[in-house]
């Protein structure tokens, strides 16, 4: 556990290290708790790195952070605009760990706010996050489709790419549901 703290504070950082730390954490509840604690650290850089690891962790298994869904949503809601990298990572983590209807609706409200962020990366995570939520919560589909169309029409190249990805996933789900109903 001390190793995780030390690595989050080390001089070296990058995608490979974030992924490696996430893989080391998988299945170890004590290390997951340490990671969550580090997300609330006073040091902006430590928070950013912990959010990066949390994002990679949810790519493997979002259930590991589900017990902290409310705390992570609260953190995302209160992070200052200056912490755009942390907001970007948590903009993907929060939708992935929201496992109750109330958590999904809360996360959707936050994603809607992040869609207007000054950071392109944060806006991209907002559309992707809302798309993930809409796959689980049908009541969010209309709002998500509106955001997708807006991003496709007026977004940056990265926003358009994320919006197309979300649109395809929603269409696949819709087609699969239609197939099930007709069977």
- For the stretch 97-146, pLDDT in tens is 999 999 999 999 999 999 999 999 999 999 999 999 999 999 999 999 99
For the CA atoms of 64, 65, 67, 73, the dihedral, rounded to the nearest 10 degrees, stands at -160
The answer to whether residue 17 sits within a structural domain is: yes
Q: Can you give the pLDDT at residue 180?
A: 65
The answer to whether residue 153 sits within a structural domain is: no
Q: Can you give the pLDDT at residue 11?
A: 86
User: Which residues have C-beta within 8 Å of that of residue 94, sequence separation ≥ 6?
Assistant: 69, 72, 73, 76, 107, 110, 129
- Domain assignment of residue 62, given as a range: 1-97
- Segment 59-64 shows an average pLDDT of 89
- Helices 120-136 & 101-114 angle (0-180, nearest 10): 150
What are the CB-based long-range contacts (under 8 Å, 24+) for 139-147?
A: 139/105, 140/104, 140/105, 140/108, 141/170, 143/108, 143/112, 144/170, 145/170, 147/112, 147/115
- Segment 165-169 shows an average pLDDT of 95
The answer to whether residue 156 sits within a structural domain is: no
Residue scoring higher pLDDT (91 or 4): 91
Residue 183 above 60 pLDDT? no
Residue 178 above 90 pLDDT? no
The answer to whether residue 58 sits within a structural domain is: yes
> What's the structural domain count of the chain?
1
The answer to whether residue 131 sits within a structural domain is: no
The answer to whether residue 21 sits within a structural domain is: yes
The answer to whether residue 54 sits within a structural domain is: yes
**174 pLDDT band (50/70/90 cuts)?**
confident
The answer to whether residue 3 sits within a structural domain is: yes
Q: Could you give the percent of the chain with pLDDT greater than 90?
A: 84
HSE of 43, CA atoms in CB hemisphere, 13 A: 10
Q: At 61, which helix (H) or strand (E)?
A: helix 44-61
């Amino acid at each position: 556990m001390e190793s995780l703290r030390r690595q989050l504070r080390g001089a070296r950082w990058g995608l490979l290290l974030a992924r490696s730390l996430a893989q080391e954490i998988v299945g170890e509840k004590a290390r997951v708790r340490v990671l969550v604690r580090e997300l609330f650290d006073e040091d902006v850089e430590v928070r950013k790195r912990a959010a990066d690891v949390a994002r990679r962790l949810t790519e493997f298994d979002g259930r590991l952070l589900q017990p902290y869904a409310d705390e992570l949503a609260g953190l995302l809601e209160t992070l200052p605009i200056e912490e755009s990298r942390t907001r970007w990572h948590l903009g993907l983590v929060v939708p992935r760990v929201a496992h109750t209807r109330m958590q999904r609706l809360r996360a959707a409200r936050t994603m809607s706010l992040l869609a207007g962020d000054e950071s392109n990366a944060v806006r991209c995570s907002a559309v992707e996050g809302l798309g993930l939520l809409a796959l689980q919560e049908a009541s969010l589909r209309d709002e998500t489709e509106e955001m997708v169309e807006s991003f496709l029409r007026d977004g940056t190249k990265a926003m358009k790419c994320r919006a197309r990805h979300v649109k395809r996933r929603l269409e696949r789900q819709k087609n699969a549901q239609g197939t099930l109903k007709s069977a």
